[in-house]
Amino acid sequence: MPCNDGQGPSPIAQMEQELGLMRAKLDTYARMLCDQCKLIERLKISEIFNAKVKEWWENHKQVDAMRIAREVKQREKDHDEYLRLKNKLGL
């Protein structure tokens, strides 16, 4: 455990708090960029993307698809567990 003089948060705690704030901002910016990329793609003008945006967007869509697949699988698993417990309880 790091030393602390008791006069406030430790430097590590402060850094962790700052990191959390930075992650929250980054998530906000990523959502904003995602929304704009979706709109541009729907308008069929995605040729305006530069190489870095295009690379980010393609990767982001793949990551999103994998996340959604995991969430669907988890919901199916949760639903199956619900049905199993419901049957077990005779409801």
What are the pLDDT digits (tens) for 25-80? 999 999 999 999 999 999 999 999 999 999 999 999 999 999 999 999 999 999 99
Alpha carbon distance 40, 49 (integer Å): 9
60 by Cβ neighbours in 10 Å (0-12 / 13-18 / 19+) ranks as middle
pTM: 0.68
Geometric angle at alpha carbon 44, from 43 and 50, rounded to 5°? 110
